[in-house]
A and B are shown apart, each in its own frame.
Chain A
C-alpha cells in the first residue's frame, strides 16, 4: 500500500461522483451516487484493513505544497480512522434512503451529499490546522442547501439558523488558530498537539475552540438549532447530521481542545460537566413530551452527546474510550432511528407520533429493526450503546461521582422516552386505518437497515474490533493529559486481586503440592 494516496482517493471518488451527478438525469444520478459511495466504502475497508494497530501514530500520511498559507497534509490515527469508517459506512445508506423520497432536483441533491462526504473525510484526515478549518467550515454550504431545498415546511428558518449559528461559532475558532500558528510557528496538527501554550493564553484559546465545538456537538444551551435542522431536513440529511456532523464537535474536543490545551481543559471541566448534566436531564425531559418523532430523536441526540462530552473531560482512558464508542454508536443508532422514522414518513407523510400505532401487527420486520435500535439507544447490554455509556460513566465516576450520578439518570430517562415512543408507534391497537394499511419494509429498506443492525450488534458484542485501533492514540492522549488531570473524588483504590476465582472448588486449585496433599489424605 506504500505510496498509494488512499485518503486522497477516498475524497476524489465522491468528488468525481458529485461532478457527474450535477450533469446527470435523475435515475443516472442515483446510481452514480450509490456507486461513488460504495467505491469510497470499499476504499475505507481497504484503509482499515491496512491500518497497522500499534504501528506509527499517524499513518497514510500525504503531503503536497499546493497552497500558500497552509499545506495539503493528510494522515490518520485510530480515532480519525474510526470516524472516517462511520462516515463512509453511513453514506451509501443515506443515498438509499433518498432513493424514492427525493424526486425533485435529484442530481443536485446527490451532488450535495457526495460533496458532503468529501468534506467529512477531509475534516477527519486533515493534518494542517487551516486545512481542517476549510473542510470543517465548508460543510455549511451543502448542508444549507440540503435543508433549504429538500427540507420540510419550515426549512428556510431552519437553514438560516443552522448556518448562522455554526458560522458564528467557528469564526472565533479561526482567530484562535491564527494566534496559535503565530505563536507556535507551524500549522501542523501533530506538532501542535505536543506544543505547550502558555497557561493564560490557553484559557482564551480553549474558549474560542469551545464556541465552535459546543455549537457543533451541540451542548446545552447552544443546541436549539439542532431540533429545527433535524426536523426540517430530509431523512438522509438528518442521518448525516446526527451520524457524522455532530461527531465533528466531539472530534474537535479530542483532537484540539484536550491535547492542545490540557490545563485549560482541566480548568473548564466544571463548565463542561455542568452543561452536560443539564443537557442530559433537561433534554431527556423535553424528549419525553414531544409529539414529533424526529424532534424526539433530535433531543435524545443532545442527551447522548452530553454523555460524550462528560466522558471526554473525565481525563482518563475509560472516559475517552467510552466517549469514542458512544460517538460511533450514536452515529449508527441515531442514524438508524432517523431511517426508521423516514421509512414510515415516506408512507404516511407525517411525523406525528399519534398518527401511528400498532405497527408491529402490519409491519413486523420494521418493528423488529425499530426495537433493536430503540434498545441500542437505551443502552441495553449486547448493543453498542451499552458499551459506550458504561465506559463513559465508569470513567466519569473516577473524576466526579456526582456527575456520574446525574448522568446515569439520563440512561433511565432515555429508557423512558424511547420505550414510550416505541409503545405508541409499534404496539397497541391499530387506531389509524391508513397506518394499519402500510406495507412492511421493502428490499431496499432491508438493505439500508440490516448492515446498521449488524454493526450495532458487532459493536455491542465485540467492541474490541473498534477499540483496538484507537487504544494507542487514547493512551498517548491520556499521557498528555496526566499532568493536568484533576483529582477525582472517587478515590478508587485497586485492591489485591484474589489468587483464584471466587467460586473455585478447593480441590481444583492448581498447585501441585496441595493436590499432592489432598491425595495423601
Chain B
C-alpha cells in the first residue's frame, strides 16, 4: 500500500525509465536509422512526464505526503519546479540535435546516433532523482546516473578528437568531484550517524566540530564542481568547447538546473541550521564566479568558450540568491534559473544556426562579423539574448538580476550586493562585444546556410520569452517559484 503511494509520487521518473529502456531496445534492433523516431518518442516521453508534474506545480505540494520510499525521495513543489525546467531543457536538446549530427560538423560519422536520445532520457532520470533526493544515498545515485550519461554524451562523436578530449576531461574531473563529494558525505555520516537529510540535520545542531565542518566544506566543494562555480570551474570552457554543440546546449541548461537545485536543497535542508558555516563560502563563490566568469570571457574568440564563461558568470548571480539564505532568495534563484535556461538555450540554438553553405557550423567571432546584414533574424535574436544576459532592461534578463539583487538587499547584504552589481558591468563588456561584431563590423558573409524549422521554432520561442513580452510571464513564474521555495523552507 505504501509502496503504491511511493510509485505514484515518482510516476514521471517511471515513465522516463520505461521509455528509456524500451527505446534502448529499439535502438539496439533498429540501429541509427531509427534515431530520429527514437528522438521524437523520447521527447514525447519527456513531455508526458512533464504533464504529470502540472497538478502538483499548480496546487503546490509539501509536507510528509511528499516522501516516498521511506524518506529517500521527496517530491515537493521545489522538486517539481526543477523537474519541469529540466524536462523542458531536455526536450530542447533533443529538438536541436538532428540537423547538427546530419551536417559536416559531426565529422566522418554523419547522422544522429540512436543512443543520443536514450542517454538524454537517462540523464533526465538522474537529474529528477537529484532534485528530489532526501538522502545522501539517493542524491549520489541520481548524480552519478546523470554524470555517467553526460560523460558519454560529451564524447559521442567518437572520431572527433575534440569531442573525445572533452569527454575524457569531463570524466576525470567529474570523477574527482564525485570523490570529494563522497568523502564529505562519509565525514558527515561519521559525525552525525545518518545519511538521510533529516538525520544529518539533526546531528548538526549546536556547536559544530571540525570533522562535521570539513564534511560540509567537502560536500559544498563537490557540488561546486557540478555547477562549475569558481574556484571549481576550470573544466567548463574546455568541455563546452569540445563537446558537440547540442550537447553543450544541454550541459549549459538541464544539468545546471539540477545541480543548482540540489545544492539549494542540501544547504537549506541539511545545513539549514548552520547558516553561518556555509554562507560565507557561498558568498565567496558567488562573487568569484561573477568576476572570474566575466574576466575570463573577455579574451575569448570562440563563441562556445565565451558562453561557457558566461554560464560561470550566471552561476555567480544564481548563487547570490542562495547566499541570501531565506525563502525570498531561493525563489529569486528559481526565477533566475528559468530565465537563464531560456537565454542560454536560445543562444546555443542561434549558434547552431550559424551554418555555411555546406551546413558546417561556425563558432568564432570572425565568422559572425556583420551578421546583421547577412542573417538579420539570427543577429537580432542574438542581440536580444546578449543584452538579456548582460541584464539590460527591458529584456527579461534584467528581471532575473532584479529578483536576486532585490532579495540580497532586502536581506541586508547591501555591500555584498553593491560589489556584485558593480562586477556585473565587467560582464556587459563582452556581451556588447558580441553585438558590436554582429552589427558594427563589415560582413564576413560566410554564414549563408539555411536552418530547419525546429531551430526557428525554438529560436522564436526563446526570443519571445526574453523579449519585453516575457515580463507578462513574471506574475505566474513568481507564484510558482514562491511555492517551490516555501516547500524548501518547511523543514527550517
Contact = CB atoms under 8 A, between A and B. Distances in A.
Interface of A: 65-69, 105, 108, 130, 133-135, 137-138, 140-141, 144-145, 148-149, 155-156, 159-160, 163-164, 167-168, 171-172, 174-175, 178-179, 181-182
B425 A167 contact: yes
Interface in B462-492: 471-472, 474-475, 477-479
B172 interface: no
A134 B394 contact: yes
A163 B474 contact: no
B436 to A, nearest CB: 6
A172 B428 contact: no
Contact of B439 (A130, A145, A167, A182): A145
B436 A148 contact: yes
B436 A159 contact: yes
Interface stretch (B77-85, B263-271, B410-418, B449-457): B410-418
Contacts of B405: 174-175, 178
Contact of B472 (A67, A69, A182): A67
Contacts of A141: 387, 392
Contacts of B414: 175, 179
Contact of A144 (B432, B475, B478): B432
B294 interface: no
A168 B425 contact: yes
Interface residues of B, number: 36
Contact of B440 (A65, A148, A167, A175): A148
A181 B403 CA distance: 13
B402 A156 contact: no
B475 A68 contact: yes
A163 B432 CA distance: 9
A138 B422 contact: no
B424 interface: yes
Nearest to B398: A134
B406 A134 contact: no
B399 interface: yes
B475 to A, nearest CB: 5
A394 B422 CA distance: 39
A315 to B, nearest CB: 29
Given A67-B472, A68-B474, 13 more contacts: A66-B472, A66-B475, A68-B475, A68-B478, A134-B394, A138-B394, A164-B432, A168-B422, A171-B424, A171-B425, A174-B421, A175-B418, A179-B409
21 contacts: A66-B472, A68-B475, A69-B402, A69-B474, A69-B478, A105-B372, A137-B398, A141-B392, A144-B432, A148-B440, A160-B432, A163-B432, A164-B425, A164-B432, A167-B428, A172-B422, A175-B409, A178-B405, A178-B417, A179-B409, A182-B409
Given A141-B387, A171-B422, A67 B440 contact: no
Contacts of A69: 399, 402-403, 406, 474, 478
B179 interface: no
Contacts of A105: 372-373
Contacts of B399: 69
Task: Identify the 9 closest CB pairs spanning chains A and B, nearest first.
Answer: A178-B409, A68-B478, A134-B393, A68-B474, A148-B440, A171-B421, A182-B410, A68-B475, A138-B394
B428 A163 contact: yes
Interface of B: 372-373, 387, 392-394, 398-399, 402-403, 405-406, 408-410, 414, 417-418, 421-422, 424-425, 428-429, 432, 435-436, 439-440, 471-472, 474-475, 477-479
A176 B425 CA distance: 16
Nearest to A119: B394
Nearest to B403: A69
Contacts of A164: 425, 428-429, 432
A167 to B, nearest CB: 5
Main secondary structure of the interface of B (DSSP, over half): helix
B427 to A, nearest CB: 10
B406 A178 contact: yes
B104 to A, nearest CB: 32
B356 to A, nearest CB: 24
A286 B256 CA distance: 54
Contacts of B372: 105, 108
A486 B398 CA distance: 39
A141 B429 CA distance: 13
Nearest to A104: B373
Contacts of B392: 137-138, 140-141, 167
Given A133-B393, A137-B393, A156 B440 contact: yes
Given A134-B398, A138-B394, A168-B422, A156 B428 contact: no
Nearest to B335: A68
Contacts of B398: 134, 137
Contacts of A163: 428, 432
A159 B387 CA distance: 15
Given A67-B471, A68-B474, A144 B435 contact: yes
Contacts of A138: 392-394
B248 to A, nearest CB: 27
Contact of A68 (B424, B436, B477): B477
B53 to A, nearest CB: 21
A66 B425 contact: no
A68 B421 CA distance: 21
Contact of B418 (A149, A156, A172): A172
A228 to B, nearest CB: 15
Contacts of B475: 65-68
A118 to B, nearest CB: 10
A163 B406 CA distance: 23
A225 to B, nearest CB: 14
Contacts of B429: 160, 164
A266 to B, nearest CB: 24
A155 B441 CA distance: 11
Nearest to A160: B432
A501 to B, nearest CB: 58
A178 B332 CA distance: 14
A130 B405 CA distance: 13
Nearest to A122: B394
B440 A159 contact: yes
Contacts of B479: 68
Nearest to B471: A67
B275 to A, nearest CB: 20
A52 B414 CA distance: 42
B24 to A, nearest CB: 42
A258 B240 CA distance: 50
A70 B392 CA distance: 16
Contact of B421 (A145, A149, A172, A182): A172
A135 B474 CA distance: 18
A168 B429 CA distance: 11
A156 B437 CA distance: 10
B276 to A, nearest CB: 23
Nearest to A151: B440
A175 B416 CA distance: 10
A130 B409 CA distance: 15
Nearest to A204: B414
B409 A148 contact: no
Contacts of B408: 178
B393 A175 contact: no
A175 B425 CA distance: 13
A175 B421 contact: yes
Most chain B CB within a 10 A radius of its CB, from A68, A134, A135: A68
Nearest to B472: A66
A141 B466 CA distance: 15
Contacts of A134: 393-394, 398
A407 B405 CA distance: 41
